[in-house]
Amino acid sequence: MVLSSLAMSGASASGAARGSVDVLYAGSLMDIMSQKVGPAFHRATGYTIAGIANGSSALVTEIKGGTEVADVFISASPAVNLDLEGARNGNWVTSYRLIGQSPLVLAYNPSSSFAHALRTRPWYDVVGRAGFLLGRTDPATDPKGVLAVSALRGAARRYHRPGLLALVRSTSTIYSETALVGELEAGQLDAGFFYAVEASAAHLHTVALVGTHLAASYTVALVNHAPHPRAARAFVAFLFGPTGRRILSSSGIVPVFTRASTSS
């Protein structure tokens, strides 16, 4: 879990709102939230963001368990919202809206001995080689980990690479979503699965996952019983406004704004 302080220094515009909004969001959005969305939202409204970044499924557990307080929940998969809807799940979320999508890519360390092969060969011919260290997140806590497993299994089947299934079974290079970038940059990994939005923010070298069409689908939901409902509504309105749309689009997220969706 990462606590991301998005409060801005300096005075806000005269007459602007004061206070904060608690936003729990997918760890892949940590840089864009702290460096772009948070400051812009503060300038526009006067509110500051108290942000918690983690795997989307892990955040669901924290909301339901009461270990984290949320006004707004941003996930990387529509499906995880279902675990917050309905009486048996505590009625934490009534509906959600799709914000946009960002494709799954393979980011690599340019100093890796496998870097040239990744640039010149299909990814599925390289990641299964002896000694290759491939990082991913835990599918039990993060939708990106689920997509990584899907990419490996799909390539194993489609391109007749059964050795890739051993990477699915291995848990030795599973990291939290917020730690994976650091492990790659430190040279502890040759490559890892990332969304384009986070790879772009961290200036990582990437190759496309040829043969797949996997992507994060980011959603936003107002959390029921939120302590700061007015600030929460202001934040969602900001995301759907022209400045929010522009930030998302310029950061590697293809906006796909929709009306509210529910499980009922």
- On whether both 31 and 157 belong to a single domain, the answer is no
Flag whether 264 is in a domain.
no
Position 18 scores a pLDDT of: 85
- On whether both 140 and 226 belong to a single domain, the answer is no
Q: Which domain holds residue 124?
A: 102-215
105-120: burial string, b at 16+ Cβ within 10 Å, e else: bbbbbeebebbebbee
Position 3 scores a pLDDT of: 43
- On whether both 19 and 96 belong to a single domain, the answer is yes
AA identity, residue 80: V
Query: Model pTM?
Result: 0.84
Position 11 scores a pLDDT of: 35
pLDDT tens string 75-88: 999 999 999 999 99
Position 91 scores a pLDDT of: 96
- On whether both 65 and 20 belong to a single domain, the answer is yes
And the tokens for 37? 């969305």
Contacts for 128-134: CB closer than 8 Å, 24+ residues apart: 128/161, 128/163, 128/164, 128/166, 128/167, 132/190, 132/191, 133/173, 133/188, 133/189, 133/190, 133/191, 134/167, 134/173, 134/189, 134/190, 134/191, 134/192, 134/193
The number of distinct structural domains making up the chain is: 2
**Which 3 state secondary structure label does DSSP give 71?**
coil
DSSP of 176-214, one letter per residue?
-TTTHHHHHHTTS-SEEEEEHHHHHHTT-EEEE-TT---
Q: Which residues of the chain have pLDDT under 50?
A: 1-14, 264
CATH number of domain containing 9: 3.40.190.10
- On whether both 113 and 196 belong to a single domain, the answer is yes
Position 258 scores a pLDDT of: 65
- On whether both 229 and 185 belong to a single domain, the answer is no
Position 64 scores a pLDDT of: 95
Flag whether 94 is in a domain.
yes
Position 9 scores a pLDDT of: 31
And the tokens for 198? 């986070």
Position 259 scores a pLDDT of: 60
Flag whether 260 is in a domain.
no
Position 17 scores a pLDDT of: 76
Flag whether 261 is in a domain.
no
CB distance 167 to 128 below 8 Å? yes
| Residues paired with 175 in a beta bridge | 137
